[in-house]
Chain A
Amino acid sequence: KAGVTQTPRYLIKTRGQQVTLSCSPISGHRSVSWYQQTPGQGLQFLFEYFSETQRNKGNFPGRFSGRQFSNSRSEMNVSTLELGDSALYLCASSANTGSAYEQYFGPGTRLTVT
């Protein structure tokens, strides 16, 4: 099976702009989670989507949002970008939601905000 894919891999944006990142899960996986990784804060959970519904949400401002489509593909959007949003954004998919199901990560999207 193909792994988790994320597009684009690299992105440069300017403060105040918005950005949309895309994640295609492993075929048959229904849960998609998003994470942000920065040198200062490490890996932090953003949100999880399962069957097009947000199931969990981390402690991020409302500028960070996401959605999931009927084919389980997911997008996350960040509006009004700030310099501190520069990070590696990772998505992970699993067959189902719940702690018994392992998550598989994609390679990430490296976002730089200038």
Chain B
Amino acid sequence: DAKTTQPPSMDCAEGRAANLPCNHSTISGNEYVYWYRQIHSQGPQYIIHGLKNNETNEMASLIITEDRKSSTLILPHATLRDTAVYYCIVRVDNQGGKLIFGQGTELSVKP
């Protein structure tokens, strides 16, 4: 079972920041938080991942709370092309390459 909880859907205005929350209250100390997104019928796209510290790359920022029980993915200036299902995944350390996908958050960016 997925170890994360996400809202099923969110809306965001084009050009504004999109903040996608994720709860992972049972996360263990050596488990990473990953974010992927999937645009309809395409393969999931890797966005960002982190362990304890906040992370930023060219696509997004990942903010992890100090107790690591929740995190937020931030798309700083959402565009229509960011409309997708966003998956927050906690990777269990002893399961190698296995990703357990939940239902994700369907983000709709509106003009």
Where the two chains meet, the residues of B that have a C-beta atom closer than 8 Å to any C-beta of A are: 30-32, 34, 36, 41-46, 49, 87, 91-93, 95-103
7 closest A-B pairs by beta carbon, nearest first, are A105-B43, A99-B91, A43-B101, A48-B97, A97-B96, A33-B97, A105-B44
Verify B97–A107 contact, CB threshold 8 A: no
Closest chain A residue to B100, Cβ basis: A45
Classify the interface of chain A: helix, strand, loop or mixed.
Answer: strand
Stretch at the interface among A13-21, A50-58, A76-84: A50-58
Verify B44–A99 contact, CB threshold 8 A: no
Q: Judge whether A66 is part of the interface by a CB distance below 8 angstroms.
A: no
Cα A43 to Cα B89 in complex, Å, equals 12
- B45: contacting residue among A44, A56, A97, A105, CB under 8 A: A105
Q: Judge whether A61 is part of the interface by a CB distance below 8 angstroms.
A: no
Determine the chain A residues whose CB is within 8 A of the CB of B103 once the complex forms. Answer: 42
Determine the chain B residues whose CB is within 8 A of the CB of A55 once the complex forms. Answer: 96-97
Known: A42-B103, A99-B93, A100-B32. A48 touches B43 (CB 8 A): no
